Amino acid sequence: MRWEQLGGEDATAALFGTDAVTRRFDTPEFRGITFHEVRARSILNRVPGASRMPFEWTVNPYRGCSHACVYCFARKTHSYLDLDTGLGFDTQIVVKTNAPELLRRELAAPRWRGEHVAMGTNVDCYQRAEGRYQLMPGILAALRDRANPFSILTKGSLILRDLELLRQAARVTEVSIALSVGFLDGELWRSVEPGTPSPQTRLAVCRTLAENGIPASVLMAPVLPFLSDSPEQLRATVRAIAAAGAGSVTPLVLHLRPGAREWYMAWLAREHPHLVRRYEAMYAGGSYAPTWYQRRITRQVHEFAAEFGCGPAGGFRRAGADGGAAREREPESGGERDRAEPGDTQLTLL
- Which residues in the chain belong to E strands, given as ranges? 21-24, 34-38, 44-46, 57-59, 62-63, 92-96, 117-119, 150-154, 175-180, 216-223, 249-253
> Taking residues 72-78, what's their average pLDDT?
92
If pLDDT is split at 50, 70 and 90, which confidence band does 288 have?
Answer: very high
Q: What is the pLDDT of residues 334-345, one digit of tens each?
A: 333 344 443 333
pLDDT tops 60 at residue 285: yes
Q: What is the pLDDT of residues 245-255, one digit of tens each?
A: 999 999 999 99
Q: What is the DSSP string of 266-286?
A: HHHHHH-GGGHHHHHHHTTTS
pLDDT of residue 159: 98
Q: Tell me the whole-structure pTM to 2 decimals.
A: 0.85
pLDDT: is 21 or 51 the higher one?
A: 21
Task: DSSP letter for 80, please.
Answer: G
> Taking residues 26-42, what's their average pLDDT?
87
Task: DSSP letter for 66, please.
Answer: T
Q: What is the pLDDT of residues 293-333, one digit of tens each?
A: 999 999 999 999 999 999 765 444 333 223 334 434 333 33
Q: Which phi and psi (to 5°) does residue 25 adopt?
A: -115, 125
Q: What is the pLDDT of residues 130-182, one digit of tens each?
A: 999 999 999 999 999 999 999 999 999 999 999 999 999 999 999 999 999 99
CA distance 282 to 7: 34
Question: Within its chain, how far is the Cα of 220 from the centroid?
Answer: 12
CA distance 248 to 349: 12
- Which residues in 75-138 belong to E strands, given as ranges? 92-96, 117-119
pLDDT tops 80 at residue 34: yes
> Taking residues 224-253, what's their average pLDDT?
97
Residue 279 · residue 326 · CB < 8 Å: no
* Entry field: residues in the chain: 350
Measure Cα distances from 245 to 126, 238, 305 in Å.
21, 11, 12
The per-residue pLDDT of the chain, averaged, comes to 85
pLDDT of residue 62: 97
pLDDT of residue 313: 54
